Every structure is written in C-alpha cells, then in structure tokens.
C-alpha cells in the first residue's frame, strides 16, 4: 500500500497499467502534482486519462536522461506523425513543461517540410475560405519569392533539400 510519505507514486494509465514512479518525476507532472496536493487523505493510486503505457515509457526515458544531464539525447524520431501527436496530447494533459516544449518543437520541425494539404489533414482543419479568397491569399504569398512556379499543394510532401 502506498502512503504519502513513500517515495513512489502509483500512476494508472488508460490501458490499465500501473507505474510506480519517483515523487520527483511526479512533480514534473503539474496535473498529478495538483491532485496530490488537493487530496485530503493519502492517495492510493492516481489515474491518468489519455496517457497510455507506451507514453509513460517514453516519459520515464526522458526523465532519466534529464536527470543525467543528457536531455538533448532524447529523440522521438521513431514515432510517426500521428504517434507524435498523441504523445504531445498526453504530455499536455499531464502539464509537463519541459517535455512539452521538446515535443512542440519536434512537431514544428516536421511540419515545416509538409505541404499545406497535409498540415490541414494532420490538425483536422477545415478550409473555410471561399475559392476566391483562397486564390487571392495563395497569389499574395506566392509571387514575392517563388517567381512563376507555385509549389504543388495537395497531400504531397514538399521536396526536401
């Protein structure tokens, strides 16, 4: 049984796995920290919605690297774009500042190479411009720097340098 004076906090992910993590790691999760501080009695187990066990694995990896001063070595390269988006949502829910910054930067780095059509799909955004407005905006941005060539738009990855 976990008591509040113990060094380990139990976190239960959406898929039912229980992780026992150090208090210091739990402290980096502001959402969890808020739960602990507001509880009147000792907490036995804290459920974390929207967070799966594979997310917790990566969070623990990141924590171990940062404690060792090697946070730069943390990489999300092996995640595809959708997995990265899910991970970002999980970390956002847990309100973990540093890791959140790392992940938003990773998403930004991937997005800058993508076409407009892809970005729209990725975020689930509807194009609410009228065709005339849309054409006017494309024209406004394209002429200055791309001469007569306008880059292809739909669902294509832009040529990488």
Partner 1 sequence: MKMIKVDDENEGRLNTDIIFDILSRVPAKPLLDMKCISRGWHNIISNRSFIKAQLQNTQLDLNGFIVQDRYMISKRDIKTVSYIPVDSKNAAKLVHHTVFAFLPEDVVVLASCKGIVCCRSCLPSPNPTIYLCNPSNREWIQFNWSPPCDITESIALAFDFEPSKFKLVRLKRIELNNYEDEDEDEDDFFFTFELYCSETKAWRKSTEMCNCKDDLIKNRGIYIGGFLHWLTEGDQILTFDVENEMSLLIPVPVPLENEFRTVAACIGEYEGRLHYVQVSEQGLHVWCLEDLYEFKWILKDCKLLENFEAEYPRFFFNLKNRVLESEDTTNPWMNPLGFKDGKLLIKVAAELYIYDMKKDKMVHACSFLQLKPQSMSHPTVFPLSLTLVSLKDA
* Binding site residues, partner 1, CB under 8 A: 31, 34-35, 38-39, 43, 49-50, 85-86, 88-89, 92, 100, 104-105, 107-109, 111-113, 116, 119-120, 123-129, 134, 137-138, 140-141, 143-149, 159, 161
Q: Least distance to partner 1 from the beta carbon of 21, Å? A: 18
| Residue 129 contacts residue 121 (beta carbons within 8 Å) | no
Minimum distance of partner 1 from residue 28's CB (angstroms): 17
Q: Quick one: 20 or 49, whose CB is closer to partner 1? A: 49
Judged by CB, which is closer to partner 1: 77, or 128? 128
Residues facing 47 on adjacent strands: 12
C-alpha 40 chain-centroid distance: 31
Q: Which residue lies nearer to partner 1 by CB, 24 or 136?
A: 136
**Tokens at 26, concatenated:** 């739990």
Strand extents, DSSP E, 14-148: 18-22, 46-47
CA atoms within 13 A on the CB side of 40: 0
Of the two residues 77 and 82, which places its CB atom closer to partner 1 in the complex?
82
Tell me how far, at minimum, the Cβ of 11 lies from partner 1, in Å.
13
44: nearest Cα among 14, 13, 20: 20
Q: In angstroms, rounded to a whole number, what is the distance separating the alpha carbons of residues 34 and 36?
A: 5
- Compute the least distance from the CB of residue 114 to partner 1, in Å: 8
């Amino acid at each position: 049984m976990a008591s509040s004076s113990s060094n380990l906090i139990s976190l239960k992910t959406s898929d039912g796995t229980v992780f026992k993590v150090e208090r210091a790691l739990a402290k980096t999760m502001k959402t969890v920290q808020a739960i602990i501080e507001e509880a009147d009695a000792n907490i036995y187990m804290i459920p974390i919605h929207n967070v799966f066990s594979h997310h917790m694995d990566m969070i623990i990896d990141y924590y171990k690297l940062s404690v060792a001063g090697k946070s730069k070595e943390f990489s999300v390269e092996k995640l595809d774009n959708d997995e990265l988006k899910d991970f970002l949502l999980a970390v956002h829910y847990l309100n973990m500042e540093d890791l959140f910054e790392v992940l938003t930067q990773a998403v930004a780095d991937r997005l800058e190479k993508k076409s407009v059509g892809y970005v729209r799909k990725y975020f689930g955004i509807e194009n609410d411009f009228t065709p005339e407005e849309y054409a006017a905006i494309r024209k406004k941005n394209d002429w200055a720097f791309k001469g007569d060539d306008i880059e292809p738009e739909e669902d294509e990855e832009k040529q990488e340098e």
